[in-house]
A and B are shown apart, each in its own frame.
Chain A
Amino acid sequence: MVWVSTLTAGLREKTESLIYDHYGDSISVLFKKIPIPEEIKSTAEKNAQLRFMQDQIYIWEISRNEEMIGLAYLDNVKGKSQPITYAVFFDNQGMVEGSHIIKYREPIGGEVSNQYWLNQFSGKSWESDYKIGSDIDGISGATISVNAVTRGIHRSTYIVEYLLIQKNE
């Protein structure tokens, strides 16, 4: 059990360290584990062509001077045989500002962790196109991971858009 705790804490530590790197030190973060909102779940799954692996996701609300400036999202997609844990950082309009692979568990296809590839998602939102080969470059030998992560990030944009609308209402 100690091993499991260390592992999951590692995921959280890594994500939060990246959050501070991205949004800056002068922020406050509010961590939440939330059930996937039923109102948007099937839309997100259908449009991204990918089902959720679990019933919950992890969210960090990022604020500076009491104003919410962004939202970080942590979830998993299934690679060839193992989950790929990834995080997406959004601004407060639901636009992707950065993406990271928090944990990759396979011997093959790890190139999706490379930041040059993940940077392609910056600037995208739920309204963007995510076609591999035209909108997103593929990676030779990492087809399954590329498909999974691309769909996972696309899926996250719907959830975050929904959460931001809820927050503003």
Chain B
Amino acid sequence: MKYFLILSISVFSLIMAQDDFFEPGYSIGGYGELHYNRAQTGDNEAMTTLDFHRFIIYYGYNWTEKWSFKSEVELEHNFVADGEGELELEQAYVNYHTDKFGFQAGVILPSVGLINEYHEPPLFVSVERPEYNKYVIPTTWFGNGFAVYGSMSGFNWRVALMEDMEGEGIGAGIRSGRGKGYKTTAYDWVKNISLNYTEVSGLRIGGSYTMNNAPINNNPDSTVSFGLGEFNIKYDANNLYAVLEYGTISYENNPDGYTTSGGYYLDMGYNIARLVGVEGKLMPWLRVSDYNRGTIDGKVNPDKHYSIQRFGLTYWPISNIAFKFDYGTHETESANDKKTLINLGVGYNF
């Protein structure tokens, strides 16, 4: 039977040659999110904002099955002038892809945390991205560079080499050290390695390590060194939803004197759509988070240490659209008053 199979393959290969499924062509996608935010500290007057936070257009072109180009352009806050709003080329790379491994070169994302690479609003429950994914992992972190990736037996690995961070921007975290692809240097290179496992239904478990000797004011002889290690786990199946991300950054020669920073957040939710007879997915959820942006030799700076409790209700009529509500408190260790936040949002991707 096997010989017959091999014989038939060689015959049919001629017949099927004309039916190659791949066709060169472009593709378009995108995502966006509108936010209403109300924040009140103690008894002070509340501040409310209505913000079309992000608008992203994805554009790609496939030359062959293996060679393609992919890009994302982002407009933040719906307007760009006088230092307000942002227009960013968040991704733009040539991709070589095979079943076992691939290669990317251009403006790329490091694989760090759950949200940096998968940041479409329907993929996380809160209106705003978790603060962890802003001040511990500086999402969206993008820059010029190269990456190789591959998968084997449910394990997905990726190694990225990217532009240096800007040492002078590092301090209470590394967020302000992002070069964003703008006239960046490549003295030391950001080195990012990641591994995740996705072979169990609904479960994703992963981690990464990223390091760089970031030049201060583009001077390679004066650098800030950091190492960011993080672990993440997400379960989303059988109506259960749970996310845990934990990360820590260690520094040498941090301009603000910090030796470490980091923290975690934990989300737990349950899809009640069936219970209440609603189409789609309806999920009440709870978040607890604690993180700091600066610790010196084990002593955390109370001005930079935050505790967050938050609950919310998120509704996905279809998996590409999410309506979100959340309410919670944000507490700074050194402050007397808690901040209370109410957020409403709608997000989409296609």
Q: Do A and B come from one complex?
A: yes
- Contact: B102 with A107, CB < 8 Å? yes
Size of the chain A interface, CB-CB below 8 angstroms? 49
Tell me, yes or no, whether A162 is within 8 Å of chain B by CB.
no
- Contact: B198 with A111, CB < 8 Å? yes
- Contact: A8 with B20, CB < 8 Å? yes
Q: How far is the CB of B157 from chain A (nearest CB, A)?
A: 13
- Contact: B271 with A133, CB < 8 Å? yes
- Contact: B65 with A137, CB < 8 Å? no
A76: nearest chain-B partner, CB-CB: B21
- Contact: A9 with B1, CB < 8 Å? no
Q: How far is the CB of B35 from chain A (nearest CB, A)?
A: 21
Knowing A33-B19, A81-B60, say if A140 contacts B9 (CB, 8 Å): no
Q: How many contacts A-B (CB < 8 Å)? A: 131
Knowing A107-B95, A134-B274, say if A8 contacts B62 (CB, 8 Å): no
B residues near A117, Cβ cutoff 8 Å: 201
Q: Which of A2-56 contact B (CB under 8 A)?
A: 4-9, 11-13, 16-17, 20, 25, 31, 33, 53-54, 56
Question: What would 26 A/B residue contacts be, using CB atoms closer than 8 Å?
Answer: A8-B19, A8-B21, A9-B9, A12-B12, A20-B1, A33-B16, A53-B21, A54-B21, A56-B19, A80-B58, A80-B60, A82-B22, A82-B65, A82-B68, A83-B21, A83-B22, A105-B22, A105-B65, A105-B97, A114-B198, A133-B281, A134-B271, A137-B202, A138-B236, A143-B349, A144-B29
| A-B residue pairs, 8 tightest by C-beta | A9-B13, A81-B27, A141-B118, A8-B16, A133-B281, A137-B237, A5-B17, A116-B201
**B-side interface residues toward A, CB under 8 Å?**
1, 5, 8-10, 12-17, 19-23, 26-27, 29, 58, 60, 62, 65, 68, 70, 95, 97, 99, 102, 104, 114, 117-118, 120, 122-123, 149, 151, 154, 156, 198-202, 204, 234, 236-238, 271, 273-274, 279-281, 316, 319-320, 349
